């Protein structure tokens, strides 16, 4: 049984920053490929970023590349999403996810999901 618990969401002005965290338990963290997804009102869940099991390779959606950074600390069993230069269109519920293969962008390829954390960016 793998559990993912997210934190760090909130309300921020456009141009501001937030850092999301996702703590993982129930399995050796270093064996899990991790990703971040988001879902805005009336939209499908979309890929944001992913990171390999080792943390050596990161993947980003074009809409966030250059603004967001995904990282992981295998010693703390935690994955992070640093979000800078936030825009109103970044407003969504953000979810962390775990899977068995590095770099997956389709949410159906992930096995474990966090509860989601709300990010709201005001204009």
Are the C-beta atoms of 49 and 70 separated by less than 8 Å? yes
What pLDDT is recorded for position 30? 84
Residue 44: what are its φ and ψ, rounded to 5°? -75, 155
pLDDT in tens, the chain (123 residues): 899 999 999 999 999 999 999 999 987 888 899 999 999 989 999 999 999 999 999 999 999 999 999 999 988 999 999 999 999 999 999 999 999 999 999 999 999 999 999 999 999
Q: Which residue from 61, 118, 120 is spatially nearest to 88, judged by alpha carbons?
A: 120
Spatial distance between the Cα atoms of 47 and 66, rounded to a whole number of angstroms: 15
pLDDT for 61 equals 98
50 touches 104 (CB < 8 A) = yes
């Amino acid at each position: 049984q793998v559990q993912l618990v997210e934190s760090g969401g909130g309300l921020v002005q456009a141009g501001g920053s937030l850092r999301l965290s996702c703590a993982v338990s129930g399995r050796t963290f270093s064996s899990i490929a991790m990703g971040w997804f988001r879902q805005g009102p009336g939209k499908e869940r979309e890929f944001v970023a992913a990171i390999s099991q080792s943390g050596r390779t990161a993947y980003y959606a074009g809409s966030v590349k250059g603004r967001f950074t995904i990282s992981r600390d295998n010693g703390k069993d935690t994955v992070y999403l640093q979000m800078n230069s936030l825009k109103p269109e970044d407003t969504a519920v953000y979810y962390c996810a775990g899977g068995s293969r590095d770099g997956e962008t389709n949410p159906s390829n992930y096995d474990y999901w966090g509860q989601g954390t709300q990010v709201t960016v005001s204009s």
